[in-house]
């Protein structure tokens, strides 16, 4: 380990807080995002926190940009030890309202962006015997109503991470998947959905969270250090996951009731 970490979606939100958490340990950071200004701001904060590194604009939908980012890590750092596939977007809407374009956009960024990140950086991780940290969501495990494309994309990230955990053990590459619930973030900036009411409802859930992106980054750091595969930062999320494992039908009924309430609220 040479303490070199790559983070996508590092220009704001959870990606920035993950960067700052590792920076406080003196790591070298390779930061990417589609926002140049956000990246520069994060890099400045990283240096204040005790880390250093470089930034490179990268759209995770474009595999060539990710391979170029991996090459930059090799040239500047001599390799990489940890990759964090964090870049993501939010969306919502009942299945009947979502267009196929909504599905393509969601899958391309939230699922295939992670697949491509893992693929582009795997040769470097094989050299360093490093770690993969994929950011999924509690939506991957709970499948809440009016967000089927987001649920499916994030569930794909969990399934990918489970597959890599099994396949990469022999190569001594660690794998972790993080499933946060709603938290205070700028995810709404990227929100795409058929109705403004849906965006407002998601906004309320984000604002009501008891923990921040900074808290989540700190929890991720601790759990990765302890070797935990599935990282559930929210206590409510951990309880809900336990409930689903014991009595899935109870949870499905609760989600169906929630869907009815959401539809009634939208009509009102």
Categorize the per-residue pLDDT at 265 as very low, low, confident or very high, splitting at 50, 70 and 90: confident
Is 158 in contact with 139 (CB distance < 8 Å)?
Answer: no
Q: Domains in the chain and their CATH numbers? A: 4-235 (3.40.50.720)
Which among 150, 219, 221, 252 is annotated as catalytic? 150
At residue 100, the pLDDT reads 97
Categorize the per-residue pLDDT at 248 as very low, low, confident or very high, splitting at 50, 70 and 90: very high
| pLDDT > 90: percent of the chain | 76
Residue 148 has pLDDT above 80, yes or no: yes
Encode pLDDT of 195-237 as tens digits. Answer: 555 545 544 544 555 789 999 999 999 999 999 999 999 988 8
Encode pLDDT of 80-104 as tens digits. Answer: 999 999 999 988 899 999 999 999 9
At residue 188, the pLDDT reads 44
Query: 150 catalytic, yes or no?
Result: yes
At residue 184, the pLDDT reads 47
At residue 259, the pLDDT reads 92
Categorize the per-residue pLDDT at 43 as very low, low, confident or very high, splitting at 50, 70 and 90: very high
The answer to which of 64-68, 172-176, 238-242 has the lowest mean pLDDT is: 238-242
Q: Which residue has the higher pLDDT, 205 or 145?
A: 145
Beta bridge partners of 56: 32
Categorize the per-residue pLDDT at 251 as very low, low, confident or very high, splitting at 50, 70 and 90: confident
Categorize the per-residue pLDDT at 41 as very low, low, confident or very high, splitting at 50, 70 and 90: very high
d(CA 55, CA 44): 11
The answer to which of 129-143, 156-170, 180-194 has the lowest mean pLDDT is: 180-194
SS3 per-residue string spanning the chain = CCCEEEECCCCCHHHHHHHHHHHCCCCEEEEEECCHHHHHHHHHHHHHHCCEEEEEECCCCCHHHHHHHHHHHHHHHCCCCEEEECCCCCECECCCCCCHHHHHHHHHHHHHHHHHHHHHHHHHHHHHCCEEEEECCCHHHHCCCCEHHHHHHHHHHHHHHHHHHHHCCCCCCEEEEECCCCCECCHHHHCECCCHHHHHHHHHHHHCCCCEHHHHHHHHHHHHHCCCCEECCCHHHHHHHHHHHHCHHHHHHHHHHHHHHHHHHHHC
Please compute the mean of the pLDDT values over residues 61-69 and round it to a whole number: 98
Please compute the mean of the pLDDT values over residues 28-52 and round it to a whole number: 98
Please compute the mean of the pLDDT values over residues 65-91 and round it to a whole number: 97
Residue 243 has pLDDT above 60, yes or no: yes
At residue 193, the pLDDT reads 56
């Amino acid at each position: 380990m040479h303490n070199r970490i790559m983070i996508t979606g590092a220009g704001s939100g959870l990606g920035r807080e993950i960067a700052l958490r590792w920076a406080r340990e003196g790591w070298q950071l390779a930061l990417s995002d589609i926002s140049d200004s956000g990246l520069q701001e994060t890099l400045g904060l990283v240096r204040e926190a005790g880390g250093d590194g470089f930034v490179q604009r990268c759209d995770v939908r474009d595999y060539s940009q990710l391979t170029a980012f991996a090459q930059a890590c090799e040239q500047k750092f001599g390799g990489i030890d940890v990759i964090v596939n964090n870049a993501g977007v939010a969306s919502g809407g009942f299945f009947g309202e979502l267009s196929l374009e909504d599905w393509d956009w969601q899958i391309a960024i939230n699922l295939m962006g992670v697949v491509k990140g893992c693929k582009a950086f795997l040769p470097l991780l094989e050299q360093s015997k490093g770690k993969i940290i994929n950011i999924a969501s509690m939506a991957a495990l709970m499948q809440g109503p009016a967000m089927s494309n987001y649920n499916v994309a994030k569930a794909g990230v969990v399934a990918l991470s489970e597959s890599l955990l099994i396949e990469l053990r022999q190569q001594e590459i660690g794998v972790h998947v993080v499933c946060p619930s709603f938290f205070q973030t700028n995810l709404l900036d990227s929100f795409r959905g058929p109705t403004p009411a849906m965006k407002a409802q998601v906004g309320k859930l984000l604002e009501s969270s008891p923990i921040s992106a900074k808290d989540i980054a700190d929890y991720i750091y601790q759990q990765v250090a302890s070797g935990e595969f599935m990282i559930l930062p929210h206590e409510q999320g951990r309880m809900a996951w336990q409930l689903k494992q014991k009595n899935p039908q109870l949870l499905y009924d609760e989600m169906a009731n929630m869907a009815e309430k959401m539809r009634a609220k939208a009509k009102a």
